[in-house]
Chain A
C-alpha cells in the first residue's frame, strides 16, 4: 500500500476509533454510525472469508480437481447448501430444515465425541496428578483435585445441598468465587491492554504526539 493510501487509512481508522470512544460520553449518532459500519464490514468480511476459505476450495475447486466418486459426492453438500437457500421462497422454506438438520446432526455428533475426547478425558487426566510426599507441588495437586470435585458438586442440584454435600458445595463456591475474581481481573487487564493500544494508535500513528 502506498503512503497516501496508508495516510487515508490511518485517518479513517482514527475517525472510527474516536467515534466508538464517543459512546463514553453518551449514545450518539456518530457512535451509531461507527457501530453500523462495524456490523456491515464484519458481515462482508466473514462472508468473503467463508466463501474463500471454505466454499471455494472445498466445493468449487474440489469439484474441478477431484475425479470419480470423490467428485460427484460433492454434489451432496452443494445440494444441501442450495436447499438451505429455499428459505427465500415461502412455499419451499420447509426444505431448509434438511440442511439445518444435517448441521445439527454434525454438531450433536461432535458434541458427544469431541467433548469426551477433547474436554472430559484430558481435563480428568490433567487433574488426577500424583501426590509424591509433603511438598508444595503435591499440596497444589491436592487443592486442584479438591477444587475440581467440589466445583462439580456445587452444580449438582439433584439432591439438596445438606450434610456432606452441602459442606462440599460450600468449599466449591470458594473456588468458584476465587476463579470468577481472577477471570475478572485477567479480562479487565486484557481490555486495558487493548485500550492502551488504541490510545497509542491515536497519539502515535494519527497525531504523532509520541514516538
Chain B
C-alpha cells in the first residue's frame, strides 16, 4: 500500500500522458490537457507545503532564540506581509496583480530591486572568478578565454570602436560553434531525461518514494 500504490499511480499517469500524445483522439485526446491542469492544482498545494516548511523552520529558530533569530523574524514578517497584501489586493480589486493593489507595491519596490541587485552582484563574482579561471594554460583553456573576450567585446560599443572584427566574430561564435555545442549538450540531456523518465515509469528508479 505504501509503495505499490504510488508506483502504480506514477506508471498509470505517465502511461496515459504518453498514450494521449500518440493517440490524439477521444477518450485520450483531452487527457494531456486535463492532467496538466491537475498537475498545476497539486503543485499549488505542494507550494503551500513548502512555504509552511519555511515558516516552521524560521519560527522554530525564533522560539528557541537561536543565532539569526532577528533575521528569521524579518523573513516571517516579510512573508506574512506579502501574503496579507496579496489577500487584501484580491479582496479589494479582484486580483492581487491589479496595478493599484498593495501587492504590486511589494513586487515593484521589494522583489524587483532585490532580485535585480542579487543578479547584478553576481557580475562582480563572475568577473573575479574569470580572473582566476581564465588563464591560457593550454589550447582549450585559451579557446575559452579568447571566445569569452571576443563575445564580451563584440557586445559593447567599445568593441566595434576598436575593430569591426569583434561584432562580426561575436555573432559567428554565437551562431555556429556556441550553438553547435549547446545543441549537442541539449540533445544529450534530453536523451538522458527520456531514459530517466523510462526508469521512473517502470519503477526502476524509486528514490522519490524515500
A residues within 8 Å of B by Cβ? 1, 5, 9-10, 12-14, 16-17, 20-21, 23-24, 29, 32-48, 50-52, 54-55, 58-59, 62, 73, 76-78, 80-82, 84-85, 87-88, 94, 97-113, 115-117, 119-120, 123-124, 126-127, 140, 143-152, 154-155, 172-189, 191-192, 194-195, 197-198, 201
B residues within 8 Å of A by Cβ? 2, 5-7, 9-18, 21, 34-52, 54, 68, 71-72, 74-83, 86-87, 90, 95-97, 99-100, 103, 105-124, 126-127, 130, 140-141, 143-152, 155-156, 172-191, 193-194, 196-198, 200-201, 208-209
> With A38-B111, A119-B190 given, can you name 12 additional A-B contacts, CB distance below 8 Å?
A5-B105, A16-B110, A16-B113, A42-B115, A54-B41, A77-B42, A85-B49, A104-B208, A145-B180, A148-B187, A176-B184, A191-B120
- Show 8 residue pairs from A and B whose CB-CB distance is below 8 angstroms, ordered by the A residue: A41-B106, A41-B110, A43-B50, A55-B45, A108-B196, A151-B180, A177-B147, A184-B144
Q: A109-B14, A188-B126, A195-B120 are in contact. Are A120 and B173 (CB under 8 A)?
A: no
Question: Would A147 and B41 count as touching, CB distance under 8 A?
Answer: no
Residues of B within 8 A of A100 (CB): 6, 208
* Interface secondary structure of B, over-half rule: helix
Question: Would A81 and B41 count as touching, CB distance under 8 A?
Answer: yes
Q: A105-B10, A111-B197 are in contact. Are A192 and B105 (CB under 8 A)?
A: no
Residues of A within 8 A of B96 (CB): 48, 52
Name B109's contact: one of A12, A39, A59, A106 (CB within 8 Å): A12
- Shortest A40–chain B CB gap in Å is 3
Name B120's contact: one of A77, A81, A140, A194 (CB within 8 Å): A194
- Shortest B19–chain A CB gap in Å is 9
Question: Would A98 and B9 count as touching, CB distance under 8 A?
Answer: yes
Question: Would A108 and B156 count as touching, CB distance under 8 A?
Answer: no
Name A115's contact: one of B46, B105, B190 (CB within 8 Å): B190
Expressed in whole angstroms, the Cα–Cα distance for A22 and B74 within the complex equals 18
Residues of A within 8 A of B111 (CB): 38, 41-42, 45
Residues of B within 8 A of A73 (CB): 34
Question: Would B123 and A191 count as touching, CB distance under 8 A?
Answer: yes
Residues of B within 8 A of A127 (CB): 180, 183
Q: Which residue of A lies closest to B153 (CB)?
A: A185
Residues of B within 8 A of A155 (CB): 184-185, 188
Residues of A within 8 A of B155 (CB): 185-186, 189
Residues of B within 8 A of A45 (CB): 82, 86, 106-107, 111
Residues of B within 8 A of A85 (CB): 45, 48-49
Question: Would A175 and B10 count as touching, CB distance under 8 A?
Answer: no
| Of A147, A174, A185, most B-chain CB atoms within 10 Å | A185
Name A172's contact: one of B184, B198, B201 (CB within 8 Å): B184
The 5 A-B pairs of least Cβ separation, nearest first, read: A147-B180, A151-B184, A44-B82, A105-B13, A109-B17
Residues of B within 8 A of A116 (CB): 190, 194
Expressed in whole angstroms, the Cα–Cα distance for A32 and B180 within the complex equals 41
- Shortest A164–chain B CB gap in Å is 17
- Shortest A35–chain B CB gap in Å is 8
Expressed in whole angstroms, the Cα–Cα distance for A173 and B75 within the complex equals 45
